């Protein structure tokens, strides 16, 4: 097996150990004569997987009994609509911190249901930073404060949770979910598409605090789009194989040492790349230093021609999917939990050589 160094922003790299284990279940699960992908979501086997994954999430995040966990479909984009549909009415206001492409899309959806206030936006500077708490100008009585914890396109990340003075946080955590510990007591909802840090594309993890869920106004909300519909039960057919994969990734995270381990591991990997970027002015970080992401490292070279040459030469030594998002260009290295240090070191060595040959 010749695996390349995969820096894809998503669907992203998965742990080899998980892929090997999943291959066994794909062919035949627990000597049942059929694949996990062929089993009913009402079977005892799948119900055990579903419960185990929820238990592991509870343990990793320290959720206790205060939260509901749901495995839904439609990606984080569906949650841009589903959250305000359940919690925001025409005469109410929700605050949306605007720090990138995905928060802007969430704002567009929320405006269909109620008032949206932006307590901060970095759109005028190309989404090159996230705010400090002293920069947030919250509205008088928001029902929740929404933010995107890590911005995959720009390459920015909140180092700490925004301070909202007790207003529940709603977080699109798709690209840094389970990469570090968080204070769950501040959150009303955490949602994440699995395809960046916890599994393959096709399942969306939604975690809702029970007392916040009780405030949902579901009059005229279709049944399938009500969070309460999915609480404590499997309402409709989930993406069975994807949840199976997520459960294996959660097991892997626990075995490695949990969220504290990955916080340190991710800090070390990111530091290797940022140190190389900051060595001189050949490479230029795309965002302000105090807002840099540990998950998606974005940078530019002196010219677009050099950037294209960089990408072409990188692939020759198996460094793949380093092209920046089509909306911003440049270079982007996505170094999620499963990205091994070896891949990061190989990238950094290539960056040094490329500078020497072209600087």
Q: What is the bridge-based pairing of β-strands 67-72 and 204-209? A: antiparallel
Query: Where is the domain boundary, 229, 256, 283?
Result: 256
Q: Are 182 and 328 contained in the same domain?
A: no
Q: Are 92 and 225 contained in the same domain?
A: yes
Q: Are 238 and 277 contained in the same domain?
A: no
Q: Are 288 and 146 contained in the same domain?
A: no
Whether omega for the bond prior to residue 302 falls within 30 degrees of 0, making it cis, is no
Q: Are 153 and 197 contained in the same domain?
A: yes
In a domain, 193, yes or no: yes
In angstroms, rounded to a whole number, what is the distance separating the alpha carbons of residues 246 and 50?
10
Record the tokens describing residue 288, joined without a space.
């302000």
In a domain, 7, yes or no: no
Q: Are 200 and 272 contained in the same domain?
A: no
Instruction: Confirm or deny that 209 is annotated as ligand binding.
Output: no
Query: Where is the domain boundary, 194, 224, 256?
Result: 256
Helix orientation angle between 240-256 and 258-277, rounded to the nearest 10 degrees: 80
Instruction: Confirm or deny that 3 is annotated as ligand binding.
Output: no
- 359 residues of the chain, pLDDT tens digit each: 789 999 999 999 999 999 999 998 899 998 999 999 999 999 999 999 999 999 999 999 999 999 999 999 999 999 999 999 999 999 999 999 999 999 999 999 999 999 999 999 999 999 999 999 899 999 999 999 999 999 999 999 999 999 999 999 999 999 999 999 999 999 999 999 999 999 999 999 999 999 999 999 999 999 999 999 999 899 999 999 999 999 999 999 999 999 999 999 999 999 999 999 999 999 999 999 999 999 999 999 999 999 999 999 999 999 999 999 998 999 999 999 999 999 999 999 999 999 999 98
Q: Are 285 and 140 contained in the same domain?
A: no
Q: What is the pLDDT of residue 145?
A: 98
Residues with catalytic annotation? 102, 172, 196
Q: Are 147 and 208 contained in the same domain?
A: yes
Instruction: Confirm or deny that 101 is annotated as ligand binding.
Output: no
Instruction: Confirm or deny that 172 is annotated as ligand binding.
Output: yes
In a domain, 348, yes or no: yes
**Whether this model's pTM surpasses 0.85:** yes
Instruction: Confirm or deny that 152 is annotated as ligand binding.
Output: yes
Q: What is the pLDDT of residue 157?
A: 98
Record the tokens describing residue 114, joined without a space.
């109620």
Q: Are 163 and 33 contained in the same domain?
A: yes
In a domain, 63, yes or no: yes
Could you give phi then psi for residue 187, rounded to 5 degrees? -105, 135
In a domain, 1, yes or no: no
Q: What is the pLDDT of residue 1?
A: 73
- CATH number for the domain spanning 302: value is 3.90.1150.10
Instruction: Confirm or deny that 77 is annotated as ligand binding.
Output: yes
Q: Are 235 and 297 contained in the same domain?
A: no
Q: Are 300 and 157 contained in the same domain?
A: no
Q: Is 41 exposed, middle or buried (0-12, 13-18, 19+ CB in 10 A)?
A: middle
In angstroms, rounded to a whole number, what is the distance separating the alpha carbons of residues 56 and 89?
34
In a domain, 8, yes or no: no
Place of tokens 């279940």: 25
Query: Where is the domain boundary, 256, 281, 311?
Result: 256
Sequence-separated (6 or more) residues with CB below 8 Å from residue 23: none
In a domain, 2, yes or no: no
Q: Are 239 and 308 contained in the same domain?
A: no
Domain range for 54: 16-256
Distances (CA, A) of 257 to 93, 183, 311, 342: 40, 18, 34, 19
Report how many domains make up the chain. Answer: 2
């Amino acid at each position: 097996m010749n695996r390349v160094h995969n820096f894809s922003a998503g669907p992203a790299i998965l742990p080899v150990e998980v892929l090997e284990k999943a291959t066994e279940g794909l062919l035949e699960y627990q000597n049942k004569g059929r694949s996990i992908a062929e089993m009913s979501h009402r079977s005892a086997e799948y119900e055990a997987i579903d419960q185990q994954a929820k238990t592991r999430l509870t343990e990793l995040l320290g959720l206790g009994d205060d939260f509901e966990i749901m495995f839904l479909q439609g990606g984080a984009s569906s949650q841009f609509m589903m959250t305000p549909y359940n919690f925001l009415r025409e005469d109410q206001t929700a605050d949306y911190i605007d720090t990138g492409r995905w928060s802007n899309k969430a704002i567009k959806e929320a405006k269909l249901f109620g008032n949206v206030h932006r307590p901060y936006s970095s759109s005028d500077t190309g989404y090159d930073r996230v705010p400090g708490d002293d920069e947030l100008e919250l509205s008088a009585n928001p029902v929740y404060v929404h933010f995107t914890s890590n911005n995959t396109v720009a390459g920015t990340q909140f180092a700490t949770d925004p301070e909202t003075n007790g207003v529940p946080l709603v977080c699109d955590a798709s690209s840094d979910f389970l990469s570090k510990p968080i204070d769950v007591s501040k959150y009303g909802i955490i949602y994440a598409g699995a395809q960046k840090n916890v599994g393959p594309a096709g399942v969306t993890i939604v975690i809702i605090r029970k007392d916040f869920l009780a405030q949902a106004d579901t009059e005229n909300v279709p049944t399938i789009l009500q969070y309460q519909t999915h609480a404590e039960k499997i309402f409709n057919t989930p993406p069975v194989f994807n949840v199976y994969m997520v459960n294996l990734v959660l097991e892997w995270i626990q075995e490695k040492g949990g969220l504290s381990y990955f916080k340190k591991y991710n800090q070390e990997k990111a530091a290797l790349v940022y140190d190389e970027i900051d060595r001189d002015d050949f490479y230029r970080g795309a965002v302000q230093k105090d807002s840099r992401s540990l998950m998606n490292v974005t940078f530019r070279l002196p010219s677009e021609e050099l950037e294209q040459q960089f990408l072409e030469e990188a692939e020759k030594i198996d460094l793949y999917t380093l092209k920046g998002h089509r909306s911003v260009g440049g270079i982007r290295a996505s170094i999620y939990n499963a990205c091994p240090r070896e891949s990061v070191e190989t990238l950094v060595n290539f960056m040094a050589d490329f500078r020497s040959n072209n600087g």
